[in-house]
Amino acid sequence: MKYIFSVIIPVYNVEKYIETAIESVINQTVGFENIQLILINDGSTDNSALICEKFQQKHSNICYINKEHSGVSDTRNVGIEVAYSEYTAFLDGDDKFSPDLLKICFEFLELNKDKIDFTQVNTVFFDSKKGQHPLCINQKTRIISLNDKNIVPLRVVFFKTKVLKNYKFDKNVALAEDFKLFFEIAAEKYFFGYINEATYFYRRRAEKSSAINNQRKNIETFKRVFKVYKYLFDFFLAKFRKIPYYIERVVCYDLQWYKGDYSEELKNTPEYTTAWDAFLYCLQYIDDEIIFSQRNLSFSQKIGWLKLKYGEIKLFENKIKPFCTFGEFTLETFGSDVMIQSCENGFKGIFSAVCENIKLIAKYNENCFFSTIKRNNIFYMGKAIYYENEFYFKIDFIVEDCIRFFYETPAKRLVPVVLKFEESNGNIKKTNKSNTLKVRRKN
């Protein structure tokens, strides 16, 4: 009998969670009799194997495989070899499916079988972190082109089995092990699916998050993951003579998470050097608009990326149109990013500029006030790539008045700072698309 779905679950030391994962497959509304459940014990040292064996004894459509530990990619490949179905899905041993997920996916894939070879679905976190994956918010069910600007998470993918059997997960990759396979397949038709009504529940354990963060600082990660990014760019350049916009966005989204501090020991390794070179290579192809759209990079880090990409960055050159919105007491500017808040007898905050030696000036009662500035380095992958400036203005304003802000360029030209406040608070009133700050002294 050929099943509608094969569901492959790699199992490794998940005794606390594996029952929930298995039951979420058994309870699918598409009917468990239409599902081949493949459980692969990847050398677990806890009671995971006993739990899998218990379920396998109860259900003839559960295939249980026991093997030595070799990692999730190799384990998935073992599952692909024995899959006997129209479509194949993957489920981590500590996650779970929504009850109607496979039914919705089947209907969508059948409707679009000539257009796509796989689809992704909505992802919702549970356990220590709750809520919808940020990349799934406000998404709609649709067919996605590799030229699409609106990316979705790559974690949950449902494939045509006959297509998937022509590929393998790269067992030499720790993080981003899915990237290479997903996009090699996507390149064949240039389209894939996304279903917002079907939900994959991704368990976000505190220790799991810590492990991911630590893995990003691991030598093996630098050795393998950055090679995947470079491989994808080379792959699409060779196939299409260009890199699809979607690929640029996905790689850039992932690159932003490597902004933390790194030990000198790691930075002195050949693996780090290879990773840094791969980052610089990819950066040359990533559109400036994509860089500025990353929410987890500070404005100064974005400008630092552009400086690495172009060399010297000058105000209003290189088609730079930076924008960034912070919380309260913040400014959105063209040419720089300024975070400002009121303090006793003046204002203080942080700004970054897109060229050297630029000064922040406040004009009040026709007098110019130059801020005192302290420069702080901004890091990416443990390297100082740019800087930001702490500033302080001492301005003794009276009751209610207006203060105008400018940049003074090295050529002594004054450039207005465009201010935009998200909300009124304290001494600052809402002002839009102006370099004028309306202030009033508290009683």
**CA separation for the pair 314, 183 (Å, rounded):** 36
| DSSP tally for the chain: helices H, then strands E | 13, 22
Whether residue 211 lies inside any domain: the answer is no
Edge to edge, what strands does the sheet with 372-380 contain? 330-331, 336-343, 346-353, 383-394, 372-380
For residues 113 and 258, state if they share a domain.
no
For residues 289 and 335, state if they share a domain.
no
Percentage of the chain beyond pLDDT 90 is: 51
* Phi, psi (rounded to 5 degrees) for 272: -65, -45
Pairing of strands 3-11, 85-90: parallel
Which of these three, 173, 205, 237, is where a domain ends?
Answer: 205
Average pLDDT over residues 188-194: 96
pLDDT reported for residue 437: 56
Most confident range (mean pLDDT) of 6-20, 168-182, 246-260, 345-359 is: 6-20
Q: Output the domain CATH number for residue 404.
A: 2.60.40
Where is pLDDT greater, at 288 or 109?
109
Whether residue 363 lies inside any domain: the answer is yes
For residues 427 and 368, state if they share a domain.
yes
pLDDT reported for residue 282: 96
pLDDT reported for residue 147: 93
For residues 107 and 239, state if they share a domain.
no
For residues 104 and 191, state if they share a domain.
yes
Average pLDDT over residues 109-135: 93
For residues 288 and 345, state if they share a domain.
no
* Number of domains the chain contains: 3
Which of these three, 297, 322, 356, is where a domain ends?
Answer: 297
- Is 14's pLDDT higher than 70? yes
By CB atoms closer than 10 A (0-12, 13-18, 19+), residue 38 is buried
**CA separation for the pair 304, 219 (Å, rounded):** 24
CB 348: neighbour CB atoms within 10 A? 17
For residues 384 and 243, state if they share a domain.
no
pLDDT reported for residue 361: 76
For residues 270 and 349, state if they share a domain.
no
For residues 49 and 190, state if they share a domain.
yes
Pairing of strands 346-353, 336-343: antiparallel
- Is 49's pLDDT higher than 80? yes
- Is 353's pLDDT higher than 60? no
Whether residue 23 lies inside any domain: the answer is yes
pLDDT reported for residue 312: 66
Whether residue 323 lies inside any domain: the answer is no
Segment 362-366 long-range contacts (CB within 8 Å, at least 24 positions apart): 362/393, 362/395, 362/403, 362/404, 362/405, 362/406, 363/403, 363/404, 363/405, 363/406, 364/395, 364/397, 364/401, 364/402, 364/403, 364/404, 365/401
Where is pLDDT greater, at 210 or 347?
347
Where is pLDDT greater, at 414 or 272?
272
- Is 333's pLDDT higher than 50? no
Whether residue 325 lies inside any domain: the answer is no
Which pLDDT band holds residue 376 (cuts at 50, 70, 90)?
confident
Dump pLDDT digits (tens) for 158-190. Answer: 999 999 999 999 887 656 668 889 999 999 999
Domain hosting residue 254, numbered range: 216-297
pLDDT reported for residue 145: 96
pLDDT reported for residue 320: 43
Whether residue 184 lies inside any domain: the answer is yes
By CB atoms closer than 10 A (0-12, 13-18, 19+), residue 189 is middle
pLDDT reported for residue 418: 56
Whether residue 210 lies inside any domain: the answer is no
Task: Say how many residues make up the chain.
Answer: 443
pLDDT reported for residue 368: 78
Average pLDDT over residues 21-50: 97
pLDDT reported for residue 128: 84
pTM exceeding 0.85: no
Whether residue 28 lies inside any domain: the answer is yes
Dump pLDDT digits (tens) for 296-330. Answer: 888 778 888 988 998 865 543 444 443 322 222 23
Q: Output the domain CATH number for residue 89.
A: 3.90.550.10
Q: Which residue has the tokens 């690495």?
A: 308
Of 88-102, 174-188, 239-253, 356-370, which gets the smallest average pLDDT?
356-370
For residues 223 and 252, state if they share a domain.
yes
For residues 158 and 233, state if they share a domain.
no
Which of these three, 205, 235, 252, is where a domain ends?
Answer: 205
pLDDT reported for residue 59: 97
Which pLDDT band holds residue 222 (cuts at 50, 70, 90)?
confident
Average pLDDT over residues 227-244: 95
Average pLDDT of every residue of the chain: 81
- Is 217's pLDDT higher than 80? no
For residues 131 and 251, state if they share a domain.
no
- Is 336's pLDDT higher than 60? no
- Is 28's pLDDT higher than 60? yes
